A and B are shown apart, each in its own frame.
Chain A
Amino acid sequence: MASEASPYRLLGTRIPYIEGPLKVSGRAEYTDDLTRPNLLVGRLLRSPWPHARLRSIDVSAARKMPGVAAVLTGEKYPTTFGVLPITHDETALAVGKTRYIGDILAAVAASDELSAERALAAIQVDAEVLPEYSDPHVGLGAVAEPIHSRGLNGSNIQKEVHQHFGDVDAAFAEAAHTVRVRGTFAGVTHAFTEPLVTMAEATPDGRLTVWSATQVPHYLHRALSEVLGIPLHRIRVLKPEVGGGFGGKSDPLPHEIVCAALALETGRPVKMLLDREDVFLTNHGRHPTQNDLRVAADAEGHLLAYDLSAVIDGGAWSSFGTVTTYYNGVLAMGPYRVPNFRYHGRRVYTTKPPSGAMRAHGGTNVRYTIETALDELAEKLGMSPFELRMKNALPPNSTTITQFRITSTSFLACLKAARERSGFDEKFRKLPYGRGIGLGCGFYISGSNSPIHFTPKMPQCTVHLKADMDGGIAVHCMQADIGQGSNTLLAAIVAEVLGVQLERVHVVPVDSDVSPVDIGSYSSRVTFMMGNAARQASERLLALLLAAAHELTGYPAKQLRVREERYEVAHRPEVGVSYLEALHKAMEHSGALQASGAYTSPPMGGTHKGARAGTAPAYSFAAYVAEASVDAETGFFAVEKVWAAFDCGRPLNRLAVEGQIEGSIHMGLGQFMGESMNYRGSRLLNPSLLEYKIPTPQQMPEVEVLLVGADDPEGPFGAKEAGEGPLVAILPAVGNALYDAVGVRFYDLPVTPDKVWKGIERRRAEGTPWKGT
């Protein structure tokens, strides 16, 4: 939609993925496609108990079984790890205790799968069963046997957050309107198509090499070093192609460390491919959550306050949970101005598979709660849902009460585009019974400002470039392309700045021996941070090339312009040199050219406890309208069309941005319509892609993507994130559309047909008609 012509040659167009031809021909190499001579198969013995004290694990029989090279139990590697340095509470294998059905008790490396499985079956585990805690509410108070010793006051609370900005009670006292809702959310999981898999090899030179399906090679690198006690520089981490992550590969995961440990143990390469059930049990998906929200507004519809409390089901470990607990509160702070805010969040350990970060981490459930509550509020006010939001939109260059720095926002443009394109005003409350339209909005961080680092002063991303005689440009960076297209963007930025053809740029696969650190693909940070680092590196390389062009043409670099494969004098275009001429000239001085660029986010945020959580150098904004139809007799519904207006600043690769939005809508719809981790007690009932209900192509609505963002002042070429923000708005848009269709509010996700049917029946029984029915 951004109408002005792009000032860029490549950026802003539709750039097919550079590795696309490899992927469509089956030639892209994922971890399980790799092999090594003399390879062993690693398998895991998982806990059958939700909570138990381990008395003994007898592996003597297993060790003697044919084909078995090694059997490993927890005590050998008791060092704890975890993605957040402040909450290291995981061990590679269970030590002393097991905390969920699926905790790793032992591991085997054997010549083949069958031998490994037989060895697992021969392991004898003696354990004392402890009370299971599947309900986080039970763990809020003191319990007989806390899951972790770090639980607060003998409870299972892993993290508790109290925040209060302004004066919420006073705001409610003077409010003309209030709304109170409780949103309940089942856990959902990433369900990437490529299962978790790792291969590791220890070699006689004392080095350990690990290939893994990870989105955080650097954090994996560190966890391996800490737990295995090997200095970082003796470990080499490689990230082959990764078949999707969505946050599920953004923790260092126990099987990765176990696989490496087995390689050390045996001196042979070991591959560990997890079964689909294992992947479900590893989880780290979106937290089951209960959000209680009160909203206060004045008579004109200005928001006065949010009062929010949350109970968050963490599962067995901390993972990203401390961040989740903060995010579930502070990500309420956009896209509207909220002058008073109180939040009480508690994340509670349970004896279930660990929850962690999943696409739009911490922002999805709270967003649904808010956006549906605002729909109720608009109805109370007799105001269009659009008017309510326009009235409260955060302006550009403002600060939230939590001290988030809002620079660019095109939220109003999003609202306008979605409203007009969808014909919302002609449809809202006017469609026949069973058909409805709804608005949901969103806001998300464009890269967490706080790197999980040794020292926050180090850059979050570094990019190295090398141009050599062949004219090719090798790009090194540890950013993890997991399908979102970051390799393509990296190459495109380099090509754009240097003016070279895209095919000259080779993004070297992640290899910790040569890739400078980027902290990984999470928190929607890659485009923003890697993009800026890549731009800086490219500009530095360009300076070398322009200096050479100056030598060749006699014109100062300042007067030279970058053209395709050519540097020419701005006012005398006929005078210029080709890229190769400039390169070869420059190389006379130094050999292959090199340049490095880095990104460090600027200081920002308040000084209160937890002030860093939710700070980001920029934020994305969204306004989605969904139109849905409901079969009132069965509760089945279809989302017919979605108008997705999104502000990601300048979209640098439209193809990729659209793909992120469409994919996010599909994933968000899944959480809304049917995906859920179903438990009986602590037991996961549906660890399969058959019973975990990801929407099929027939359930996918038509999507009209409306990209309306203005340039962000700090984003690379004006860009912001588009990887996670596009998810949050779809859930409330559909929830509000269902309300418009049948007059029932749904606050308990997923909204399966039986719930819709029940809601309709209830409304009927109450005798309150809706749109004449």
Chain B
Amino acid sequence: MHLDPFELHEPATVEEALELAGTLSGKFDYLAGGTDLLPNYKMHINLRPHLISLERVSELRGVSSNRIGAMTRLAEVEESPDLSRAYPGVAEAVREVATPLVRASGTVGGNLLLETRCFFFNQTYPWRQSLGFCLKADGDRCHVVPQKERCYATFSGDLAPALAALEAEVEVAGPSGRRRMPVEHLYNAAGDGILRLSLVPGEIVVAIHFPESARRARSAYTKLRVRPSFDFPELGVAAAVWGAAEAPEKVRLAIGGLETYPRRFDEDTDALAGAPLTDARVRTVAEAVTRRVRPVHNTFLPPDYRRRMTEVFVRRTLSRVRAPNGSVAA
């Protein structure tokens, strides 16, 4: 499989990159590790004539205990003992991404921004052409929910929920300067599988920042997928709990792999603060969350199963972190 010709740009600084982005507006993609973008390009999905590689932008690199540069390879995160100790949920999520070979190239920024996925989208050009192109690339209808003019492609990144549960922030740089926002705000809850991000065109993800409080949380990530490597999440549940087992200060839950964006469930988890996380209370939250998620049939496992597993996975993930030793008297 070949790549159609494009022009590659290799800026050395964020500013240079933004300038290029301004000039090439609408005609480029950023390239990080390429493990998401290049397969799509090989399948001739939404090609652009220019690629702006972020590989040489040194500011985007580096891992410390409270910051991960966007161009940090997933493998580097995995190998950082500091991060793994501080944010076990993130470490678990990173270890579960794709395969070791993909993690050698794949970056944190690319993982947050990876394309949403769908059986009718992640296909070669002839395949899509033969079915009739869909809304998300070259076409005007959806093969999953044909009644609607909306795209249901699934957000399939593992890191976003893990970071969102820890209330991590993302720093972005754009034409009008830099800003920081909670990770989950990167995504457009009011959008769909196409209008999936809240970024303005040209914006670059610079880094992830962990608030001081994140180090105090107990966190975990549980991933549903058919095989223990290769497969994208069909459901990914991240949980974080702050404070004592008897009276947690705060509980956060974030879920990916089910809908068009990774989602937090603060309405449900806020009620968990202050009283022991008993089996019954954990179950109640798990059930409430399950009632609200709406997976569709565009991944390998049937949506009903993925929805029902949400209850199990939320329960299990919360149970793992509800107390320092995982168990609480009912």
B130 engages A693 (CB within 8 Å)? no
A695 to B226, CA, bound (A): 9
A696 partner, pick from B123, B130, B227, B308, beta carbons under 8 A: B227
Contact residues, A689-709 vs B (CB, 8 A)? 690-691, 693, 695-696, 698-699
Distance between A62 CB and nearest chain B CB, rounded to angstroms:
15
B311: nearest chain-A partner, CB-CB: A633
Of B124, B127, B302, most buried by chain A (CB within 10 Å of CB) is B127
A48 engages B130 (CB within 8 Å)? yes
Is A101 an interface residue when CB atoms closer than 8 A count as contact?
yes
A275 to B123, CA, bound (A): 12
Q: What 1/0 mask marks residues of chain B from 175 to 191 whose CB sits below 8 Å from any chain A CB?
A: 00000000000000000
Is B275 an interface residue when CB atoms closer than 8 A count as contact?
no
A634 engages B312 (CB within 8 Å)? yes
Is B149 an interface residue when CB atoms closer than 8 A count as contact?
no
**Which B residues are CB-close (under 8 A) to A674?**
226-227
Is A294 an interface residue when CB atoms closer than 8 A count as contact?
no
Q: What 1/0 mask marks residues of chain A from 247 to 278 whose CB sits below 8 Å from any chain B CB?
A: 00000000000000000000000000001010
Distance between A751 CB and nearest chain B CB, rounded to angstroms:
12
**Which A residues are CB-close (under 8 A) to B309?**
634, 757
B230 engages A46 (CB within 8 Å)? no
Is A384 an interface residue when CB atoms closer than 8 A count as contact?
no
A101 to B127, CA, bound (A): 9
Is B76 an interface residue when CB atoms closer than 8 A count as contact?
no
A633 to B319, CA, bound (A): 15
**Which B residues are CB-close (under 8 A) to A691?**
119, 300
Given contacts A49-B130, A691-B300, contact A699 B227 (CB under 8 A): yes
Is A128 an interface residue when CB atoms closer than 8 A count as contact?
no
B126 partner, pick from A46, A114, A695, beta carbons under 8 A: A46
A698: nearest chain-B partner, CB-CB: B228
A113 engages B129 (CB within 8 Å)? no
**Which B residues are CB-close (under 8 A) to A459?**
none
A691 to B231, CA, bound (A): 8
B130 engages A101 (CB within 8 Å)? yes
A48 to B122, CA, bound (A): 17
Is B212 an interface residue when CB atoms closer than 8 A count as contact?
no
B2 engages A113 (CB within 8 Å)? yes
A162 to B129, CA, bound (A): 43
Is A553 an interface residue when CB atoms closer than 8 A count as contact?
no
Q: What 1/0 mask marks residues of chain B from 127 to 140 whose CB sits below 8 Å from any chain A CB?
A: 10111000000000
**Which B residues are CB-close (under 8 A) to A48?**
126, 129-130
B131: nearest chain-A partner, CB-CB: A683
Q: What 1/0 mask marks residues of chain B from 286 to 330 whose CB sits below 8 Å from any chain A CB?
A: 000000000000001110010011001000000000000000000
**Which B residues are CB-close (under 8 A) to A693?**
226-227, 231, 300
**Which B residues are CB-close (under 8 A) to A688?**
122
Contact residues, B1-45 vs A (CB, 8 A)? 1-2, 4-5
Is B229 an interface residue when CB atoms closer than 8 A count as contact?
yes
A31 to B124, CA, bound (A): 25
A633 partner, pick from B127, B130, B301, B312, beta carbons under 8 A: B312
Given contacts A114-B2, A696-B230, contact A277 B301 (CB under 8 A): no
Contact residues, A68-114 vs B (CB, 8 A)? 101, 113-114
A690 to B229, CA, bound (A): 10
Q: What 1/0 mask marks residues of chain B from 206 to 227 whose CB sits below 8 Å from any chain A CB?
A: 0000000000000000001011
Is A752 an interface residue when CB atoms closer than 8 A count as contact?
yes
Q: What 1/0 mask marks residues of chain A from 518 to 542 whose CB sits below 8 Å from any chain B CB?
A: 0000000000000000000000000
A690 to B127, CA, bound (A): 16
A190 to B231, CA, bound (A): 20
Distance between A690 CB and nearest chain B CB, rounded to angstroms:
6
B301 partner, pick from A46, A698, A752, beta carbons under 8 A: A752
**Which A residues are CB-close (under 8 A) to B2?**
113-114, 117
Contact residues, B219-265 vs A (CB, 8 A)? 224, 226-231
**Which B residues are CB-close (under 8 A) to A699?**
227-228
Given contacts A275-B124, A277-B127, contact A753 B312 (CB under 8 A): no
**Which B residues are CB-close (under 8 A) to A142?**
none
A690 engages B231 (CB within 8 Å)? yes
Is A174 an interface residue when CB atoms closer than 8 A count as contact?
no
**Which A residues are CB-close (under 8 A) to B302?**
754
A114 to B226, CA, bound (A): 36
Is A663 an interface residue when CB atoms closer than 8 A count as contact?
no
Distance between A118 CB and nearest chain B CB, rounded to angstroms:
10
**Which A residues are CB-close (under 8 A) to B230?**
690, 696
B226 engages A687 (CB within 8 Å)? no
Is A685 an interface residue when CB atoms closer than 8 A count as contact?
yes
B305 engages A757 (CB within 8 Å)? yes
A101 to B131, CA, bound (A): 10
A753 to B224, CA, bound (A): 10
B1 engages A275 (CB within 8 Å)? yes
A635: nearest chain-B partner, CB-CB: B305
**Which A residues are CB-close (under 8 A) to B119?**
685-686, 691
B127 engages A753 (CB within 8 Å)? no
A113 to B44, CA, bound (A): 14
Distance between A146 CB and nearest chain B CB, rounded to angstroms:
23
Given contacts A754-B302, A757-B305, contact A687 B130 (CB under 8 A): no
A693 to B127, CA, bound (A): 20
Distance between A65 CB and nearest chain B CB, rounded to angstroms:
15
A683 to B305, CA, bound (A): 23
A485 to B124, CA, bound (A): 36
A276: nearest chain-B partner, CB-CB: B1
A275: nearest chain-B partner, CB-CB: B1
A277: nearest chain-B partner, CB-CB: B124
Distance between A239 CB and nearest chain B CB, rounded to angstroms:
25
Given contacts A277-B124, A683-B131, contact A114 B4 (CB under 8 A): yes
Contact residues, A583-642 vs B (CB, 8 A)? 633-634
A725 to B9, CA, bound (A): 55
A686 to B302, CA, bound (A): 15
A277 to B309, CA, bound (A): 31
Distance between A757 CB and nearest chain B CB, rounded to angstroms:
7
B39: nearest chain-A partner, CB-CB: A690
A572 to B126, CA, bound (A): 75
Q: What 1/0 mask marks residues of chain A from 751 to 771 whose CB sits below 8 Å from any chain B CB?
A: 011100110000000000000
A687: nearest chain-B partner, CB-CB: B127
A121: nearest chain-B partner, CB-CB: B125
Distance between A637 CB and nearest chain B CB, rounded to angstroms:
12
Given contacts A101-B130, A277-B124, contact A753 B227 (CB under 8 A): no
A114 to B302, CA, bound (A): 38
A687 to B227, CA, bound (A): 17
A753 engages B226 (CB within 8 Å)? yes
Distance between B105 CB and nearest chain A CB, rounded to angstroms:
16
Distance between B131 CB and nearest chain A CB, rounded to angstroms:
6
Distance between A144 CB and nearest chain B CB, rounded to angstroms:
22
Q: What 1/0 mask marks residues of chain A from 733 to 757 whose CB sits below 8 Å from any chain B CB?
A: 0000000000000000000111001
A692: nearest chain-B partner, CB-CB: B300
A691 to B305, CA, bound (A): 18
Distance between A674 CB and nearest chain B CB, rounded to angstroms:
5
**Which B residues are CB-close (under 8 A) to A117?**
2
A752 to B309, CA, bound (A): 14
B305 partner, pick from A633, A696, A698, A754, beta carbons under 8 A: A754
* 16 A-B residue pairings within 8 Å (CB atoms): A48-B129, A101-B130, A114-B5, A275-B124, A277-B124, A634-B309, A674-B226, A674-B227, A683-B130, A687-B123, A690-B231, A693-B227, A693-B231, A699-B228, A754-B302, A757-B308
Closest 8 CB pairs of A and B: A48-B130, A754-B305, A698-B228, A113-B2, A696-B229, A696-B227, A693-B226, A633-B312
* Chain A positions near chain B (C-beta within 8 angstroms): 46-49, 101, 113-114, 117, 275, 277, 633-634, 674, 678, 683, 685-688, 690-691, 693, 695-696, 698-699, 752-754, 757-758
Contacts A114-B2, A114-B5, A687-B127 aside, 9 further interface pairs with beta carbons under 8 A come to A634-B224, A678-B300, A685-B119, A686-B119, A693-B226, A696-B227, A696-B230, A752-B226, A757-B305
* Chain B positions near chain A (C-beta within 8 angstroms): 1-2, 4-5, 119, 122-124, 126-127, 129-131, 224, 226-231, 300-302, 305, 308-309, 312
